[in-house]
């Protein structure tokens, strides 16, 4: 991939941070948007902004067609054969809570077991923790090994006849560890064949109101079909259109190229950081086993101080517990700094980042 050309597709890189060119290494939190996506979102608001499904006027029809076309485009991108299986939510956190409320509170009872892992983001930990407390279920948390990978033996032992739900991250947002979804799913099907892997196609609604209904009388209400049953109220039409445009953009690059680029940058960054005394890297050392995420600490320097010094040089990284406090506690640290890479980053960005880390050491004289 031509990273220089790709970077020019993203308007934000024209911005200067403290007089420096922006080196954005926080894509695991929020990725930047190419102009193609931004233009299509603007076009929706400029030309046919209207509510979907409920109107017969021109703007509503155009908005509805674009919204449902976006659903079909996203379905194709993620390999789903039927677009009705795609439900638009505000974010992954809302999607997980939808499952916890709509399916979990109906199907998980006292004594049932929920199996998750220590590497989960809070959004895939707290909802199940709270559900277990409310319904008297048992929450089992599978640890990781010394390499930052899921302990498969412990995972298999955690499964049993009482397991009702198994939920785990595909890629850790802290360690970058990639979990083998197919392998873990096979183990679940073998050891706990009645358990769900956070997927269910027959949930009652989570939010009530417009669009998610089929018929309302004084006595009762019947629900709409999927996916509209779970999309109550006015949806984020512009966001769906932008998401579809992002799918187009990524398909043009080729997802195999995106993945290869992630691995190359992660391996390059790990190699560079490993040569700096006092820098501790967390997660698998083999970049093929992680996403484009490298979490680290610089000696005794707090991660927030690391991020602040890097920001003065125009380098954006994340710091803190990354909404994964149980994992950070498990690792025995108070906080972590995190650099995450994407299609608009190259080795030059990492070189600048590494020099920034050396500057951190100079400032703190370590």
- The CATH number of the domain holding residue 308 is 3.90.1150.10
- 178 close to 289: Cβ distance less than 8 angstroms: yes
- CA separation for the pair 319, 333 (Å, rounded): 12
Tokens of 309: 């010094």
Q: Are residues 181 and 259 in the same domain?
A: no
The answer to whether residue 60 sits within a structural domain is no
Q: Has 323 been annotated as catalytic?
A: yes
Q: Are residues 265 and 350 in the same domain?
A: yes
Q: Are residues 259 and 360 in the same domain?
A: yes
The answer to whether residue 249 sits within a structural domain is no
pLDDT at 201: 34
Query: Which tens digits make up the pLDDT trace of 26-82?
Result: 999 999 999 999 999 999 999 999 999 878 899 999 999 999 999 999 999 999 999
DSSP secondary structure string for all residues of 130-197: HHHHHHT-EEEEE-B-TTSSB-HHHHHHH--TTEEEE---SB-TTT-BBP-HHHHHHHHHHH-TT-BS
- 32 close to 341: Cβ distance less than 8 angstroms: no
pLDDT means over runs of 10, the chain (366 residues): 95 96 95 96 96 90 96 95 91 88 93 96 92 95 96 97 95 94 94 80 58 73 79 84 96 96 97 97 94 96 97 96 94 96 97 98 94
Q: Are residues 25 and 98 in the same domain?
A: no
Query: Which tens digits make up the pLDDT trace of 157-168?
Result: 999 999 999 999
Of residues 141, 323, 327, 337, which has the active-site annotation?
323
Residue tagged 């009705």 (tokens) = 84
Last residue of a domain, one of 145, 171, 191: 191
Q: Are residues 97 and 24 in the same domain?
A: no
Burial 176-190 (b: 16+ CB within 10 A, else e): bbbbeeeebeebbee
Q: Are residues 113 and 15 in the same domain?
A: no
The answer to whether residue 216 sits within a structural domain is no
The answer to whether residue 292 sits within a structural domain is yes
Q: Are residues 170 and 266 in the same domain?
A: no
Could you tell me the CATH number of the domain that includes residue 163?
3.40.640.10
- Quote the domain boundaries for residue 153: 92-191
pLDDT at 348: 97
The answer to whether residue 303 sits within a structural domain is yes
The answer to whether residue 262 sits within a structural domain is yes
The answer to whether residue 79 sits within a structural domain is no
The answer to whether residue 236 sits within a structural domain is no
Q: Are residues 22 and 108 in the same domain?
A: no
Last residue of a domain, one of 153, 173, 191: 191
Residue 215: closest CA among 223, 225, 207: 223
Last residue of a domain, one of 167, 191, 215: 191
| Number of domains the chain is built from | 2
């Amino acid at each position: 991939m031509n990273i220089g050309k790709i970077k020019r597709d993203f308007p934000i890189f024209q911005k200067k941070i403290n007089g420096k060119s922006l080196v954005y290494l926080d894509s695991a939190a929020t990725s930047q948007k190419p102009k193609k996506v931004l233009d299509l979102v603007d076009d929706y608001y400029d030309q046919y902004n209207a509510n979907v499904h409920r109107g017969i006027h021109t703007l509503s029809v155009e908005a509805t067609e674009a919204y449902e076309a976006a659903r079909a485009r996203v379905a194709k991108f993620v390999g789903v054969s039927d677009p009705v299986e795609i439900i638009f939510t505000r974010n992954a956190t809302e999607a997980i809570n939808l499952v916890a409320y709509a399916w979990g509170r109906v199907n998980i009872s006292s004594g049932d077991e929920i199996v998750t892992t220590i590497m989960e983001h809070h959004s895939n930990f707290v909802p199940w923790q709270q559900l277990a407390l409310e319904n008297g279920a048992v929450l089992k948390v599978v640890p990781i090994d010394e390499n930052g990978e899921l302990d498969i033996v412990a995972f298999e032992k955690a499964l049993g006849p009482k397991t009702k739900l198994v939920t785990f991250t595909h890629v850790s947002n802290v360690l970058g560890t990639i979990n083998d979804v197919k392998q873990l799913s096979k183990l679940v099907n073998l050891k706990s064949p009645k358990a769900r892997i956070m997927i269910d196609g027959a949930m009652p609604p989570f939010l009530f109101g417009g669009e998610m209904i089929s018929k309302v009388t004084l006595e009762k209400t019947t629900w709409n079909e999927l996916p509209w049953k779970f999309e109550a109220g006015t949806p984020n039409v512009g966001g769906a259109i932008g998401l579809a445009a992002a799918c187009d953009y990524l398909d043009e690059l080729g997802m195999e190229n995106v993945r290869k680029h992630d691995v190359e940058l992660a391996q390059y960054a790990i190699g560079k950081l490993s040569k700096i005394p006092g820098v501790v890297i967390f997660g698998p050392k083999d970049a093929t086993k992680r996403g484009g995420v490298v979490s680290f600490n610089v000696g005794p320097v707090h991660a927030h101080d690391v991020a602040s010094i890097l920001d003065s040089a125009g380098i954006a990284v994340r710091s803190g517990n990354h909404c994964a406090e149980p994992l950070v506690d498990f690792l025995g640290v108070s906080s972590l700094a995190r650099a995450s890479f994407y299609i608009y980053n190259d080795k030059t960005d990492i070189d600048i980042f590494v020099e920034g880390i050396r500057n951190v050491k100079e400032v703190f004289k370590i």
